[in-house]
Amino acid sequence: MPDFDVLVLGGGPAGVNAALAASAAGLKVALFDENPAAGGQVYRAPISSAMPPTGDLLPGDALRHELDQSAVTTYFNHVVWAVTADYRVDAAGPAGPVHCSGRALIVATGTTERVVPFDGWTTPGVIGLAAATILLKSQGILPGRSTLVAGCGPLLAAVAAKIIEGGGKVEAIADIAGLGDWGRTMPAMVSRPDLMREGFHWVREIWSAGVPMLSRQTLVKVEQAHDGLHATLAPCDAAGRPIAGKQRSVVADCIAVGHGLTPSSEITRLLRAEHRYSRQAGGWIAVADQDGRTSRPRLYVAGDGAGIAGAAAAGHHGTLAGLACAIDLGTHLGTHLGTDLGTDAAQLRSRVQAARQAHAKAARFGRSMAQLMALRPGHTDSIEPQTIVCRCEDVTRAEIDAACDAGAHDMNQLKAWTRCGMGPCQGRTCGDVAAELLAARVHGGLREPAGCLSARTPLRPMTVEALTGNFSYDDIPIPMAAPL
């Protein structure tokens, strides 16, 4: 007898809305998240009420409040390290190991940030744009006395504006994109006048602070010096590759860099759902219908982890997944769901229609932002041979190229031949870039034959004692001894 009807993994806007929708439809729901509270990345809760409120605080608080008021069982501060095919989830929390089972699973695990390596990117003081966002929004800390903001996507302006609002200095913003790239997002931006206004507000703040906003500029090198980090910027083409032209040097205390987001598909790949590669969506994503149903029964995906479409779309997508789960479980269990408010089948279906419309509208904006964040074909061409690609194992581009030339055709073979992806990050930081390098060198740029690193448990490194608990030798269930 499963402990819950549905387990939701991820407490951002998608996961919370999925849990709320499923719960409102009468299902028994549990939600897991490794953070202390709901909100995910975009609505991350500040650690202290003494911090100045940001624009994301109100929707984040509303989300957290609604969750508190609901019947959803929450497991915050829990790191999920295993999920089995019959939807048993194992997690480690402050009070020790926890496991529970569900009839269905909704995966809403969001994204990780992609950084295309450059010389010196592993230098302490170089952090991700998402990391800078967490420092500013959640911890109330400036990334540095002065910060260089570089890379691509909407996070550049968001981070720069927040630094300025917090009283810090931004040395420059170096965007790989050109103004034309931004111009192409205007039609979609118009569909969200509120977000467009916010974006213009950021630009105004940045301009008023006298911060140089550089287009078609890329970071090529960072070095630690006595007076801070010395960054070299070069003009670049549309793919982010440096081209001939005057390079400029910037000195800053911190460098916040990011080249887009990649959906976290570890869990759905672990469960062997069908996946496809979509550059536009950010990488490998589970094949799913518009409501988030994957190729495996009663397994759903929602939010940016299912393909980048932004925070607003994530919320509606979560609602769709929660409702789809309620409809499917009703069918699966052969039971007629209760007649509580919003739970009879016809009501469910009309809520689905409403959520689909809202989702489509919100996704339009989100997908245009995703376009700015997608990995540009050719961007990885510019990684120098001696530059580290796999941070955990210090594997350079040259070693990856040599393995490809020696016959490694896919990511798992590349991993065995170079150790790229064998470290504690389990390929989350390097996997997308390494696959892009392999695909370019061996498969004419096609990502499908390159594949991905096999997803494995534990989903995050776990200490042995967190897994073994208290035991004595006699407790160990010894199977039959090996043959003599």
Return the residues of window 424-463 that contact another protein according to CB under 8 A.
Answer: 424-426, 428-429, 454, 456-458, 460-463
By CB under 8 A, residue 473 contacts another protein: yes
Tokens of 194: 């509120």
Q: Cβ neighbours of residue 175 under 8 Å, at least 6 residues apart?
A: 150, 151, 152, 156, 213, 214, 215, 216, 217
**Interface positions, 15-44, toward another protein (CB under 8 A):** 34, 41
64 or 361: CB nearest another protein = 64
**Shortest Å, Cβ 419 to another protein:** 8
x/- track of binding to another protein for residues 374-413 (CB under 8 A):
--------------x--xxxx--------x--xxxxx-xx
Residue selected from 168, 282, 366, 451 as contacting another protein according to rule CB under 8 A: 168
Stretch in the footprint of another protein (CB under 8 A) among 10-18, 139-147, 298-306, 311-319: 139-147
Strands across the sheet with 217-225, in order? Answer: 217-225, 228-235, 248-252
Q: How far is the CB of 483 from another protein (least distance, A)?
A: 5
Closest approach of Cβ 318 to another protein, in Å?
A: 20
The tokens 């919003």 sit on which residue?
342
Q: Could you give the 3-state DSSP secondary structure of residue 256? A: strand
State residue 51 phi and psi, 5-degree precision. -85, 150
Of the candidate spans 19-27, 163-171, 305-313, 333-341, the one that interacts with another protein by CB under 8 A turns out to be 163-171
- Our finding on whether 481 is near another protein (CB under 8 A) is yes
**Which of 10, 128, 199, 318 is close enough to bind another protein by CB under 8 A?**
128
Least Å from the CB of residue 469 to another protein: 8
**Is residue 295 part of the contact set for another protein (CB under 8 A)?**
no
Taking the complex as a whole, the smallest distance from the CB of residue 143 to another protein amounts, in Å, to 8
Minimum distance from CB of 138 to another protein (Å)? Answer: 8
Q: How far apart are CA 299 and CA 141, in angstroms?
A: 39
Sign of the Cα pseudo-torsion (377, 192, 113, 385, in order) = positive
By CB under 8 A, the count of residues binding another protein is: 87
- Is residue 123 within 8 A of residue 206, CB to CB? The reply is no
> Measured between alpha carbons, how far is 254 from 126 in angstroms, rounded to an integer?
6
376: helix, coil or strand? coil
Cβ–Cβ under 8 Å, residues 421 and 412: no
Q: Which of residues 102-121 bind another protein (CB under 8 A)?
A: 112-113
Query: What does residue 397 show for φ and ψ, rounded to 5 degrees?
Result: -60, -40
Residue 167 touching another protein (CB under 8 A): yes
The residue from 2, 3, 28, 51 that contacts another protein (CB under 8 A) is 51
Ramachandran sector of residue 210 (left: φ over 0; alpha: ψ -120 to 50; beta: rest): left
Put the strands of the sheet holding 169-175 in their side by side order. 126-128, 254-259, 146-152, 169-175, 213-215
The Cα 321–Cα 141 span in angstroms is 36
Which residue, 1 or 484, is less far from another protein as judged by CB?
Answer: 484
Structure tokens at 23: 């719960």
Q: Which residue's CB is nearer to another protein, number 34 or number 291?
A: 34
Question: 193 or 477, CB closer to another protein?
Answer: 477
The residues in 235-294 that bind another protein, with binding defined as CB under 8 A, are 270, 272
For another protein, the binding residue among 88, 230, 332, 441 (CB under 8 A) is 88
- Residue 465 makes contact with another protein by CB under 8 A: yes
**Under DSSP, is residue 307 helix (H, G, I), strand (E, B) or coil?**
coil
| 230 scored as a contact of another protein (CB under 8 A) | no
